[in-house]
Chain A
Amino acid sequence: MSAPFAKLPRWADYGLIPLINLFVAFIVAGLVVMLVGENPFRAAMILVEGAFGRGQNIAYTLYYATNFIFTGLAVAVAFHAGLFNIGGEGQAYIAGLGVAFVALSLDTVLPWYLTFPIAIVAAAGFGALWALIPAYLQAKRDSHVVITTIMFNYIAGSLMVYMLVDVIKPLGSMAPQTRPFEAGAQLPKLNWIIELFGAKIRSAPLNLSFILALIMAYLVWLLIWRTKLGYEIRTLGFSSKAARYAGISESRIIIITMLISGALAGMMALNPTMGDQHNVSLDFVSQAGFVGIAVALMGRSHPAGIIPAAILFGALYQGGAELAFEMPNISRDMIVIIQGLVILFAGALEHMFRPTIQTLFASLSPRSVGLAAAKKEGA
């Protein structure tokens, strides 16, 4: 415990430790499976099969992953500035309102390729707007962004129920949702890409938003590591004193970062609405905002880690659905447990195994940990 930041090789830091944490999370999840009287190995097989077994399943997996890339990026961008945006859920939900306005007013007027860019702007804009108040309160009035974004999730929930039930719902309809979007607000499917590899797909919701998510992942990488703004965000995230010294305005960076974070969370709304259900309905976000926290933690806030982490969670969601068919004792809520365990072990307990691993490395090859080994002996 003397040297929490003792050096490990990069691959151990960014590869080995997250993998061990993930592994432990899955072992505990396996214990839960055993507790309900099922075989965890068979469950794992069904899960993998269900997520990647056929083209159809892969398409579903990537559809879910699309949501999590957006929300994972949203959490990650805020993390880089030292901010914890728990409000992705609410920001994405409110963004649905922006999508609804654009889609309902333009779907019979414009073709989808013109509606889409406008909808992107609307979704990002509404998401950013919902992050703006917590951001402003953090920057100017020192109210903790964690608490305010939680509160804003619930306010968003109430607001959306009101809007969908009392304002947007078509007359005579019972379901709390918008009318179906016409062709002008339906995004093209991407299933043909998977079919290129010889798979057959009946119907799956994978759509153009997936490409948008990948583009956003690239843009986030560009923003954080290649622009002056990203440099300033990272400086603030590492040390607010250094940021002040470098003439970087803390409140400006907090507000801009939260706007970007909210915009990314907001874009998530495009995938289930214009991409799949072709309407905006109650609870369409279904916890994707929170999954983003797990994805960002696992992906170490780097797009190159976030995409595989999002695909992993996409696979859990899709495979979990299949698992619920095969094993009546296990519903999709198993995924929620796994999510929680991943957040616990990869997040809150991320350093639990570090000392052990450092000792292991030190005893295997004292040179590779260099100073750290020497420090340990001294202390």
Chain B
Amino acid sequence: MDFLNALVLILDSTIRLSVPLLLACLAGLYSERAGVFDIGLEGKMLAGAFAGAAGAAVTGSAWLGLLCGILVSVGMALVHGFASITHRGNQIVSGVAINFIAAGSTIILGQAWFQQGGRTPALGAAQRFEAIELPGAAALRDVPLIGQIYSELISGHSLLTYFAFLMVPFTWWVLYRTRFGLRLRAVGENPAAVDTAGVSVAWLRYRAVICTGILTGIAGCYLSMVQNAGFVKDMTAGKGFIALAALIFAKWKPVNAMFACLLFGFLDAASIRLQGTPIMGVRVPVQLMQALPYILTVILLAGFIGKAIPPRAGGVPYVKER
């Protein structure tokens, strides 16, 4: 039973740690499937985390905070779109710029507005998304295994957690069952086909980039309003890049993305939990666990375990050919 308890605890924190990755990863999926590469997930998430916490602190409402987070993140996504869709700039360069602007401005504005060394004021219960008890969770708590899994693993998360996991089938549905999804996938593969079919490539890509902004905004809000009670500088700490790695690892597919994020979340949870305690007599350095998502992604990119083929038109601005 001890082992089971430990396992449930680890899996529970796996879910918590996967949520921001999953949201950011699905965010990147919309943009990259439409042919706009985005290494600025990190920055948009950070800006969303700040704006969400700041908005919640000022208005006193978690929902208005969430709205602020989404708006700011979408604004940055539109800057990326303006540079890479309208002006056909280098998408990598633009993403790097977004990350810097977000990293700097969240601290400067936080300090100027709240005078707490770049933090936002601590958020109270009404300003956060609290855990939700699913019906029957208390009653089932004592049923062995199933009850424990239901009440501790599945129940007791915030609304945003359930939202994140519901986004997986929803994204799959959007991508493969709607007109928008069909066009989105097409524009990432062959924008000329979309153009000659009479659909605007630019508008389609802008819409994709807006979807990215919405989801990175929510991912950021999860960090500052669920996982923590307020914004702390640099609180994304590379999660945007792990999400990017997960996206590649998932070969740009939504259900794979969920498993990739759960895997990377599990590695994170395990490294926190183990803190260097030996596994089967071998002491695995925490840092190795932390680096594992990146190492796995590089191995995948190298084509040693399957091949990650990005959307064919990814990273290339669309220019009508003569």
Contacts and interface: CB of A to CB of B under 8 A. Distances in A.
Interface string A332-347: 0111111111011001
Interface residues of A, number: 49
Contact of A347 (B93, B113, B298): B93
B256 interface: no
A347 B291 CA distance: 30
Contacts of A158: 287-288, 290-291
Contacts of B298: 133, 137, 143, 148, 151-152, 155
Contacts of A330: 108, 112
Interface string B98-112: 111111110111011
Nearest to B233: A333
Nearest to B43: A340
Interface in B105-147: 105, 107-109, 111-113, 118
A157 B118 CA distance: 24
Given A334-B108, A351-B87, A151 B101 contact: no
Chain B CB within 10 Å, residue with most, of A35, A297, A344? A344
A332 B99 CA distance: 16
A157 B291 CA distance: 8
A290 interface: yes
A210 to B, nearest CB: 25
A335 B103 CA distance: 10
Interface residues on B, range: 35 or more
B236 interface: no
Contacts of B160: none
B255 interface: no
Contacts of B194: none
Contacts of B108: 32, 36, 329-331, 333-334, 337
A349 B83 contact: yes
A31 to B, nearest CB: 11
Given A155-B295, A343-B97, A137 B84 contact: no
A154 B97 contact: no
Interface stretch (A108-116, A159-167, A223-231, A259-267): A159-167
B90 interface: yes
28 contacts: A36-B109, A36-B111, A36-B112, A141-B301, A141-B303, A146-B92, A147-B244, A148-B301, A150-B241, A151-B245, A151-B294, A151-B297, A151-B301, A154-B291, A155-B298, A293-B93, A336-B104, A340-B96, A340-B97, A344-B97, A347-B89, A347-B93, A347-B97, A348-B87, A348-B94, A348-B97, A351-B87, A351-B89
A152 B244 CA distance: 13
Contacts of A343: 93, 96-97, 100
B39 interface: yes
Given A154-B294, A155-B291, A162 B285 contact: yes
Contacts, number: 150
B303 A143 contact: yes
A349 B89 contact: yes
B89 A162 contact: no
A352 interface: yes
A348 B93 contact: yes
A350 interface: yes
Contacts of B84: 348
Contacts of B294: 151-152, 154-155
B248 interface: yes
B87 A86 contact: no
A293 B96 contact: yes
Contacts of B78: none
Nearest to B107: A333
Contact of B105 (A84, A137, A150, A337): A337
A172 interface: no
Interface string A119-142: 000000000000001000100011
Interface in B282-322: 285, 287-288, 290-291, 294-295, 297-298, 301-303, 310
Contact of B301 (A143, A154, A162, A344): A143
A348 B101 contact: no
A144 interface: yes
Contacts of A150: 39, 241, 244
